[in-house]
Chain A
Amino acid sequence: MKIIIAGAGEVGFHLAKLLSYESQDITLIDPVKENLLYADTHLDIRTIRGDATSIKMLKDSNVSHADLLISVTSSETTNITVCVLAKQLGAKRTIARISNTEFLEQQEEIGFKGFGIDELISPESLASKEIELLLSQSAFNDSYEFEQGALTMVGVNLSRTAQFVGKSVQQAGEIFPEVHFMPIAIQRFGTQYTLIPRGDTQFKEGDQVYFITTAGGVEELYKLTGKTKRAMKNVMILGGSAIGEQSARQLAKSGINVKLIEIDQSKAFDLADRLPDTLVISGDGRNVELLQEESIHEMDAFIAVTGNSETNIISCLMAKSKSVGKTISLVENMDYFQLSHSIGIDTLINKKLLAANNIFRYIRKGEVVAMTKLNNMNAELLEFIVKPQSKVCNKRIMEIDVPRSAIIGGVIRGGKGNIVLGDFTINEGDRVVVCCLPRSISKVEKLFQ
């Protein structure tokens, strides 16, 4: 597949990285030399320096043969222009990154497809959706739903209260035979290494574990991991950015008391105008006194989404020290992701990463129907539809040659999720959820082709 990416910012770079693992034919266009240089030396892609809105530039990058053009520069108008031009010049599909959520809401009315944009991606609204999902499953620090929740992936940090700490995967399965879940990835405390668990892998205290579970299994997992589901009543949001505003609006709509802190006075006033159900407070979120005055200790969650990663992290730590149950921090810098667990913030989110993952899913449409990257881990979660000619069709799982660095998490058959063991036979039309490390993606894909 020939893919052109306009904009070598963090979204563009991350996308290029994800795609290059699968040896796609990728061209990256950016006017800034330094951005390209970094990508060029780190990734196996072609880079062109120049302005993507130039028609000559697009022609030079051979846009007429491109299967996909992704425009992810930081400027919305540039992205739209690039997509429209590329479509006219013969690109098969186009994806534009936007920041104005109005475009998303009125997608049908405007008919973006009509003038050449196939998909719109808004990192801000993805981030606020992510925040919502995380709050609705407050005990877990990551979650993802397949087929409207037939199977759910959740990430949890094992505390001492979790009943299977110290047990191996197999033992845990024997102790809780009625529970339907499958561990798919583990990251040991203090390491950056991702482990695909086997039967003999032991759960340890402090592990970040990802499970796949069926619709009813989420509740059971709550019990087993020693976490209690907390009802969200009071939420404090720091930063009145697009993400903050959108999250506040959504959360207030579902009946949660939202306090939003914004440092800029006139911006705070505008927010108060647009968010009638949110209590907007004007002040510096790093000021502990202010947070105490607004009773931070009564908050069920603290969400820091200012433009400054450090402010977000520090204020989340502050909130944690005031025993706020759930903290979510927006970070721009990907390097901080590795710190997430060791510093004690529940969840870090990065809107660029979210956008890249989301775009990646569009690209994989076809065999792969859904795809996500495990939060701050080096593992991917893929959902395949089994075709009659694929290698796995009509085989039992134990007969399939799944690579060591991959694991079948579950199967959705007829809309119902199943946690499967070795003797399960995969049929045509099943949707299979697989977790794998990046190096084995292509192998796994071959299995299902």
Chain B
Amino acid sequence: MPRLNYKIIIYIMGLLLVFNGGFMSISAFLSAFYKESEATELLAASLVAIALGALLMVLTREHLKELGKKEGYLIVTMGWLIMAFAGTMPYMFTGSIESFTDAFFETMSGFTTTGASIMNDIEIMPKGVLFWRSTTHWIGGMGIIVLAVAILPLLGIGGMQLFAAEAPGPSADKLHPRITDTAKRLWLIYVGFTGVETVLLKIAGMDWFDAVNHAMSTLSTGGFSTKNASIAYWNDNPWIQWIITFFMFIAGMNFVLSYFGFKGQFKKIFADTEFKWYTCFVLGFSILGAVLIYWQADVSVSSISHPMVWGEAESAVRHSFFQVLAVITTTGFVSADYTMWTPFLTIMFFGLFFLGGSAGSTAGGIKVMRHIILIRNGILEFKRTLHPNAILPVRYNNRALPNGIVFNILGFFILYMLSFIVGAVGLAALGLDFQTAIGGALSSLGNVGPAFGDLSPVNNFARLPDLGKWWCSFLMLIGRLELFTVLILLTPFFWRNR
């Protein structure tokens, strides 16, 4: 096979467009249901996407069903790109967003489940468009699940094979031997969780429209809200915030573990190393945060109102848990402005931006699994200096890891840090101040959403220059696709003959 199998790549792009168009039509019908005038434009966007996709599929229907690693990289990257381009149509056709740059940023932020927005007033948007906005998150989350269980392990990126094939216990491979089946099972859980959260939010006091949108946004760890104030809109309703907190925790968990939970195998969940660390991180940082908010922070400084309907202590605990989870799981919902609490908490949250959720979740970032291995390897490095001849493998889930995986993860970490620095430098070059540049790059790369400085939770990305929006979109894409998948396409050896 001397050449890349372009036909199948284009065929799959077509398939994705049709799929995308299908989801747009749901938004169109919803818009029609609310008797909005934008329904026809949304339907038009949907039909264009479907027609274009169908055309690509027809043109390349005679393709070889052979997929190599290289095709894999191209499909993943181009898939996300083409979805983002097609996803701008509902915004452009309805005129909700005027500039193409803004529309692209918004869709990319959606499909990468980042949740950074350029919309200054969300609440005046037509419901059909808002629903499409949440749908991009939800589709993105589905894509991440397939990516995590099926594609990344095959490509061997950043130790993701660990979570899939190599590790004993919860592994995607053992869930079900065939990838499509595995993905379907996990999707079912994903859809199921979304449904449950919707119902719970409705019961807690949201209307159906808000409930569905927020459920889709939570499970995909996205962060788009239908309110200008994000979840802070419901600061007088602790029930809603606790429900979302809980589902953020679930979304940041490995979906394979949730699957075991459904089958009643709770032992497997609690035996998982990553789950233990993830839980400890969440509890530890939330409790620390709650204590500091309660004793030190003056929440009245913030422009966000804190009604404290269940008392001050509960409010401190709730907002701490909510914000810690929003950042760790890279959801990026806002119930309070974490940059306005105390300087220490601001720095703590900055650190949490690097953490990320569990491998195999929809969360972005570096991921807990990689941190565990990096920390353990770091400790062993001291021992290795003392015993140069000793065999000291990093242990994870009671297994010794082959050196290759540890190198993968070290490589990933270094590349992540480099991308972060280059990203921040790029934003600074466009005139952003130190805090904003660093925060913007980190938030985009980790798919969190809100950041620091001018991009703090109460602000948004609208004030970025156009080039900055493209730059952040690029960072979101590479961060979402675990760096290597995208960056490898920029290397000369990828395009040389195999």
Contact = CB atoms under 8 A, between A and B. Distances in A.
Interface in A258-287: 265, 268-269, 271-273, 276, 279-283
Interface string A228-265: 00000000000000000000000000000000000001
Contact of B387 (A269, A273, A276, A279): A279
Interface residues of A, number: 15
B399 A281 contact: no
B392 interface: yes
Interface string B346-390: 000000000000000000000000000000000000000001111
A294 B395 CA distance: 22
B400 A273 contact: yes
The winner among A280, A283, A290 for most chain B CB atoms within 10 A is: A280
A293 interface: yes
Nearest to B403: A269
B391 interface: yes
Contact of A280 (B391, B395, B399, B402): B391
B393 interface: yes
Interface in B107-127: none
Interface string B33-56: 000000000000000000000000
B390 A281 contact: yes
Interface in B390-408: 390-393, 395, 398-400, 402
Interface string A294-307: 10000000000000
B389 A293 contact: yes
B251 to A, nearest CB: 33
Nearest to B399: A273
Nearest to A262: B391
Nearest to A274: B400
B389 A290 contact: yes
A74 to B, nearest CB: 29
B395 A276 contact: yes
A290 B388 CA distance: 9
Interface residues of B, number: 12
B395 A281 contact: no
Contacts of B393: 269, 272-273
B389 A283 contact: yes
A221 B360 CA distance: 63
A281 B389 contact: yes
Contacts of B398: 276
Contacts of A294: 387, 389
B395 A282 contact: no
The winner among B390, B400, B402 for most chain A CB atoms within 10 A is: B390
B2 to A, nearest CB: 36
Interface in B313-361: none
B391 A271 contact: yes
B400 A293 contact: no
Contact of A272 (B388, B389, B400): B400
A269 B398 CA distance: 14
Interface string B448-488: 00000000000000000000000000000000000000000
B400 A281 contact: no
Contacts of A268: 391
Contact of B391 (A272, A276, A290, A293): A272
A181 B393 CA distance: 50
A293 B385 CA distance: 11
B390 A279 contact: yes
The winner among A268, A269, A273 for most chain B CB atoms within 10 A is: A273
The winner among B388, B389, B400 for most chain A CB atoms within 10 A is: B389
A276 B396 CA distance: 11
Nearest to A269: B391
Nearest to A271: B391
Contacts of A290: 389
Nearest to A284: B389
A268 B392 CA distance: 10
Contact of A282 (B390, B400, B402): B390
Nearest to A279: B390
Nearest to B390: A281
A290 B389 CA distance: 8
B280 to A, nearest CB: 21
Nearest to A280: B391
Nearest to B392: A272
A273 B166 CA distance: 14
Contacts of B387: 279, 281, 293-294
The winner among B387, B395, B402 for most chain A CB atoms within 10 A is: B387
Contact of A269 (B388, B389, B395, B400): B400
Contacts of A272: 391-393, 400
B182 to A, nearest CB: 26
Contacts of B395: 276
A275 to B, nearest CB: 10
Nearest to B402: A269
Interface in A71-111: none
B382 to A, nearest CB: 13
A282 B399 contact: no
A6 B387 CA distance: 46
A282 B388 contact: no
A281 B388 CA distance: 9
Nearest to A290: B389
B398 to A, nearest CB: 8
Interface string B142-185: 00000000000000000000000000000000000000000000
A273 B398 CA distance: 8
A265 B393 CA distance: 12
A269 B393 CA distance: 7
Contacts of A283: 389
A282 B395 CA distance: 18
A271 B398 CA distance: 13
27 contacts: A265-B391, A269-B391, A269-B393, A269-B400, A269-B402, A271-B391, A272-B391, A272-B392, A272-B400, A273-B393, A273-B400, A276-B395, A276-B398, A279-B387, A279-B390, A279-B392, A280-B391, A280-B392, A281-B387, A281-B389, A281-B391, A282-B389, A282-B391, A290-B389, A293-B388, A293-B389, A294-B389
Given A273-B393, A281-B387, A294-B387, 15 more contacts: A268-B391, A269-B391, A269-B393, A269-B402, A272-B393, A273-B399, A276-B395, A279-B387, A279-B392, A281-B389, A281-B390, A282-B389, A282-B391, A290-B389, A293-B388
The 8 closest A-B pairs by CB, nearest first: A273-B400, A272-B391, A283-B389, A268-B391, A280-B391, A281-B390, A281-B389, A282-B391
